[in-house]
Structure 1
Amino acid sequence: MNDFLDMHMHTIMSGHAYSTLSEMITAGEKKGLRLMGITEHAPAMPGTCHEIYFHNFKVINRHYHNMELMMGSEVNIMDHAGNLDMTETTLAKLDYAIASFHEPCISPGNKKENTTALLHVLENPYIKIIGHPDNGAYPIDFTAIVKSAKKNNVLLELNNSSYGPKSGRIHSRENAAVMLNLCKKYGACVIMDSDAHIHTDVGNHDYIYDLLQQVDFPEELIVNSSINKFKDYLQLK
């Protein structure tokens, strides 16, 4: 399987990660990535950077030999109406944005509440990826979410850190299998991400490969196989 990109990772600016931007970039080059994305946590996450951080990306070099860098954010879903913790002005300055549930920012609701929140988020034109949607702490109606993701051209994430033995997210692997089978049925695309919080984990999708093989998931629905496919997909929203 071709795997050229990793678009969800954090540096020390997120407050609970352990490598610098330079260290992450060097790791991405050594891994052979063609495109990588840094997505610091948005301001509602305890310990992360101020929103002003996201306004000065123009100073960052975006090209490193054979690898390109994008700068985004993992924004927090704050309520069941799908409100986010980043202003539209700042969202517009990002290359792309991931939206995720995180317990420091929103308490888990019931299946209907969580699904309603995500359906609102999927309509947001700035959101390109839904982060770790298979976290069982936030039960959702996967059929409704997959159909909406397909309709709104939003990528559903396979988050490698969710599937490891040390993950604090529950039932992620089982839920991901359900989600992937629905993605096959409805033709919805997914993205593989490491969610790296240290440079040694950049580009690590090993747990995801096992899962994809288990459900016999078609490569054409995985955007990691082509930089242009990912970039074209961003323009569809």
Structure 2
Amino acid sequence: MKFDLHTHNERCGHATGTIEDYIRAGIEAGLSVIGISDHSPFFAREEDHAVPGTAMAKSEFSRYVAEVLRLKEKYAGRIEVLLGVESDFFPEHLEVYRQAYEPYPFDYIIGSVHQIHGVSIFNRNRWTKLNERQKTDVKKNYYEQIRDSAHTGLFQVLGHIDAMKGYYPAFVDIAGADAEIDAALQAVAEHDIAIEINTSGKTKDVGGWYPSDAILERALHFGVDVTFGSDAHVPGRVGDELDLVRSRLKEIGFKRWVFYRQKQKIVVPL
């Protein structure tokens, strides 16, 4: 069984193609299951559309859900369409986000840390004036937030957990955060959720997947489940490198991966 839980669409403002385009791409890629998981609105901001080009407007959210559910029915029997969302994790606004999601029948919610100290994790310039101790502090804080996101009970999947390396490949060489990485992985295992193998890193400077093999080996050690997400922002990337990821997971020692239906874990042998 092939599945892809992490896809976007034109609503977020930095992806191309409609939701239906991604579903059709999933069928062409031979997927049995596709998850639609566009970026959550900035629910804690007063503005309806706080950051155009980054996430959908709050007023679009119910329409987004309705469209996914309509297409789920339309494509039943050809591909299973799951209702998801990629949610920002802002600790100070957790309850605002929890209440925003509560009315809707999500199959899963991906929790992603996209900002540290108010700066995007993809901002390569954040590192230029930092000394080694400061870089270690940023990396520690990143994994502390990932750990905290696991403890919320809001998320079924944690997204791209070493994505700070995307435009700063030297991130992987910043020493001193091993304990925080392990604590984050232990929290994932404790709450019986999953981390994704996200192949969108190939489109960034780092040129590889999230997370690294070293983190996946630690994840296996702690009994962490994994899932797959292309993080496609164009329909042509749906399912991208899924078979390569499956082979690599087997080499590392994983026996299974998972997806979610109605927030229940579905186990698929590798």
Question: Secondary structure of the equivalent of 1:149?
Answer: helix
Residue 228 of structure 2 corresponds to residue 192 of structure 1: yes
Q: Which residue of 2 aligns with 1:134?
A: 162
Separation in 1, partners of 2:221, 2:10: 39
Aligned partner of residue 69 in structure 1, secondary structure: strand
1:54 aligns with 2:61: yes
Q: Which runs of 5+ in 2 are unaligned?
A: 43-50, 122-136, 166-170, 266-270
Q: TM-score, normalised by structure 1?
A: 0.80
Aligned pair in 2 of structure 1 residues 105, 233: CA closer, same or farther (>3 Å)? farther
Aligned to 1:216: 251
Q: Does 1:18 align with 2:13?
A: no
2:139 counterpart (111, 115, 126): 111
Would you say the 8 A contact 1:155–1:190 is kept in 2? yes
**Matched letter for residue 30 of structure 1:** E
How far apart are residue 210 of structure 1 and its match?
8.1
The answer to whether the 8 Å contact 1:76/1:84 transfers is no
Tell me the percent identity. Answer: 23
Structure 2 length-normalised TM:
0.71
Q: CA deviation at 1:172?
A: 6.0
Distance 1:69 1:113 in 2: 35
Residue aligning to 2:240: 204
Aligned to 2:264: 235
Partner of 1:100: 112
Distance in 2 between residues matched to 1:207 and 1:82, nearest whole Å: 38
- 2:30 — aligned with what? 32
**2: CA distance between counterparts of 1:157 and 1:74?**
12
Deviates more, 1:93-102 or 1:184-193: 93-102
Structure 1 position 118, deviation (Å) = 1.6
Between the aligned partners of 2:79 and 2:94, the Cα distance in structure 1 is 30
Contact 1:134–1:173, Cα closer than 8 Å, also in 2: no
Do the aligned partners of 2:113 and 2:146 also contact (CA within 8 Å) in 1?
A: no
Contact (CA 8 Å) 2:109, 2:156: kept in 1 or not?
yes
Deviations 1:62-116 (A, max 9, x none): 14233111122111123xx464596223222233211112259942561332222
1:184 to partner: Cα distance: 1.8
User: Runs of 5+ in structure 1 lacking a partner?
Assistant: 224-229
Which one-letter code corresponds to 1:23 in the other structure? D
Query: Alpha carbons of 1:43 and 1:11: their partners in 2 closer, same or farther (altered >3 Å)?
Result: same
Q: Choose the corresponding residue for 1:4, options 2, 27, 44.
A: 2
Q: CA deviation at 1:179?
A: 1.2
Partner Cα distance (2:232, 2:18) in 1 = 12
The answer to which of 178-187 and 129-138 deviates more is 129-138
Aligned residues: 222
The residue number in structure 2 matching 1:226 is none
CA distance in 2, matches of 1:233, 1:153: 15
1:154 aligns with 2:193: yes
SS at match of 1:126: coil
